[in-house]
Structure 1
Amino acid sequence: MIEVKNLHKGFNGEEILKGITTSFKRGKTNLIIGTSGSGKTVFLKCLLGLFAPEKGSIIYDGKVYSELDEEEQRGLRESMGMVFQGSALFDSMTVEENIMFPLRMFTKQKKAEMLDRANTVIDRVQLINANKKLPSEISGGMQKRVAIARAIVTRPNYLFCDEPNSGLDPKTATVIDNLIQEITEEYDITTVINTHDMNSVMEIGEKIIFLRYGNLEWEGDKSQIFKTDNEAVTDFVYSSNLFKKVRNAQLKGL
């Protein structure tokens, strides 16, 4: 579980995050949504320990990050997995090598142990016959699977995903959403996803926070978001005819 209390962060005198307080439960898919400039990326980087807030605290399973010494902070960061926008795979490495990279960086495992662990997560994300292929030789959806496998290969307690469906067609995006949710439940991970994809909200939004101008404007789940009277949220969510129809159906109880 991650708890955020009164978080403030700014740059060059401009306040980006303005006192955010919320929590993200373990074993749940927690989504951060909002328009461009809402503070989503800055918030995610604070959660990752890349940005230090000016005020407030972030608590990981009872541990206040700012109160940890340098070694403890490094250990906590090593318990985090990250799925980057665009996958961020190493072009010159095979699928297998990409997935093993965190193990080489953060563990002292022998090669046979790393290979065994890599193959375990390769099987879990259903990467069939892809071990020796380069990223350029596989589809975008398969690249996302590699990114997920790499993120979970070290058995993280926390999984962060930045626009994991970026560049994918709707069908493949749904498959990736469901895979992330399944892994979150199976491994009992605290998963936080930064997204603008409303299909993701509908599919896996067990906890959703909506940021607006650096403030937490609304929070709830995927069923509640269709019923909210918050005008900023409805403007964001129902910007297409599809979601207007969904909202009308929800309100009519259909």
Structure 2
Amino acid sequence: MIEVKNLRKAFNGEEVLKGLNFVFDRGKTNLIIGQSGSGKSVFLKNMLGIFTPEEGTIEYDGKPYSEFTDEERRELRKEIGMVFQGGALFDSMTVKENVMFPLKMFTKMKKAEMEERVDNVLERVNLVGADDKMPSEISGGMQKRVSIARAIVNRPKYLFCDEPNSGLDPTTATVIDNLIQKITHEFDITTIIITHDMNSVLEIGEKIAFLKDGLLAWTGTKDEIFKTQDKTVTDFVYSSDLFKKVRKAQLKGY
């Protein structure tokens, strides 16, 4: 679990995050949504320790990050998996080498142990047989699955995903969504996903934080987001063609 309390962050005197409070639940897909400029990426970077907030705390399983020693921060880093927007694979490494990279960096496992772990996660993301391929030789959807495999190979407690469906077709995006959710449940991970994709909200929005202008404008689930009367939220979510179709079906009683 990650709990954020009264989080404030400013740049050049302009406040970007304005006192956010939110609990990201363990074993759930926690989504952060909102328009561009709402503060989503800044929020994520504060939780990752890339930015230091002016006020507020970020607690990992009850302990404020600001109170962590350097050693505790290094240990926490080992417990975090990250799926980047563009995949961020190493072009000069094979699929297997990409996935093995965190094990080489953060563990003292023997080569045979690392290879067994890599084989296990590649099987988990349905990439058996892709070990020796280069990133340029596989599709965008497969690259995202490699990125997920790399993120979970260290068996993290926390998984951060920054626009994991960026650049993917709707069918492949749904596959990636469901894979992330299944892994979250299976390994009881605290998963946080930044997304613009309303399909993702509909598919895996178990807990949603909607940001607007640096404020937490609404919280709820994928089911509750259809019932809210908050115009700020409805104007945002129903701008999606998918949500318009769902809403129309709901009104007809389907």
TM-score interval, smaller chain: over 0.9
> Match for residue 178 of structure 2?
178
- Cα contact 1:49–1:77 (8 A) shared by 2: no
Unpaired stretches in structure 1, ≥5 consecutive residues: none
**Pairing 1:191–2:191 present:** yes
TM-score, scaled relative to structure 2: 0.98
TM-score, scaled relative to structure 1: 0.98
> Match for residue 216 of structure 1?
216
Measured in 2, the distance between the counterparts of 1:241 and 1:154 equals: 38
CA deviation profile, 1:56-83 (whole Å, cap 9, x unmatched): 0011111211111111112112210000
- Cα contact 1:227–1:250 (8 A) shared by 2: no
Measured in 2, the distance between the counterparts of 1:33 and 1:214 equals: 12
Tell me which moved more, 24-33 or 236-245: 236-245
How many residues are paired up? 254
Q: How does 1:42-53 map to 2 (within 5 A)?
A: 42-53=42-53
Q: How does 1:1-254 map to 2 (within 5 A)?
A: 1-251=1-251, 253-254=253-254
Measured in 1, the distance between the counterparts of 2:47 and 2:111 equals: 32
Measured in 1, the distance between the counterparts of 2:241 and 2:158 equals: 35
Identity level (%): 72
SS in structure 1 at match of 2:27: coil
Residue type of the alignment partner of 2:103: L
Relative distance call for 1:21 and 1:140 in structure 2 (3 A) is: same
Residue type of the alignment partner of 1:48: L
- Cα contact 2:8–2:55 (8 A) shared by 1: yes
- Cα contact 1:177–1:204 (8 A) shared by 2: yes
Unpaired stretches in structure 2, ≥5 consecutive residues: none
Residue type of the alignment partner of 2:124: R
- Cα contact 1:39–1:214 (8 A) shared by 2: yes
Measured in 2, the distance between the counterparts of 1:24 and 1:16 equals: 20
SS in structure 2 at match of 1:131: coil
SS in structure 1 at match of 2:5: strand
- Cα contact 1:226–1:250 (8 A) shared by 2: no
SS in structure 1 at match of 2:132: coil
Q: CA RMSD in A?
A: 1.0
Relative distance call for 1:253 and 1:64 in structure 2 (3 A) is: farther
